[in-house]
Amino acid sequence: MESVTIQIINSDSPLYKDELKLRDEILRKPINLKIENDDLSDEVNQIHFVALLDTAVVGVVVLKIEGQVGKLRQMAVNPEIQGKQIGRKLVNALEAYAKENGIKEIKLHARHYASVFYEKLGYANTSKPAFEEVGMKHFEMAKVL
C-alpha cells in the first residue's frame, strides 16, 4: 500500500466535500441518517484532519476546541483499508496539533464498538455505563495530553 499522508484542511477546501462523503458513508448511512441533514455551520470553526492515499480521502477526524479542552469528533476510516494504522495516524496528528495549541485534554464520544480502539491509544472511559447517541450506545472517553 502506498504511503498515507495526513493533511489539515478547512471547510473551504476542495477536499472537504470528499471528507463529508466519507463521513456520510461510514458514520451516517449505516444508521439511516444523511449528513446533508446535519447542521454543519460550526465546522468552519473546527480543525479537519484528512488521511490521503494519493489524492483520495480515506480517513478523517475533526477537532473542536473549547478552551483548553479538545473534542475529537467524526472519526472515520474507509473500511477497505481499516487495520493499517490510519486511524492511529489521524489521532496522533490531532493530539500533536492540540498539544502545540495549548489543549490539555481530549474528550470524545465513542461508539461502543470503537471504544477498544481509543483505549489502545490511551483514552479512558469516563461514562460507564454507556449512553445513547444517534440511536446507539456510546461511551464518553478522555485523555490528558
For 76-122, the pLDDT digits (tens) are: 999 999 999 999 999 999 999 999 999 999 999 998 889 999 999 99
- Please give the tally of structural domains in the chain: 1
* Average pLDDT value over all residues in the chain: 93
The stretch 31-35 carries a mean pLDDT of 87
CA angle 92–94–100, rounded 5-degree value: 100
Task: Say which residues have a Cβ less than 8 Å from residue 66's Cβ, sequence separation at least 6.
Answer: none
Q: Which of 120, 119, 4, 121 is nearest to 55 (CA)?
A: 4
Q: Domain of 20: which CATH number?
A: 3.40.630.30
State the amino acid at position 145 in one-letter form: L
Residues spanned by the domain of 20:
4-144
| End-to-end Cα, the chain, rounded Å | 31
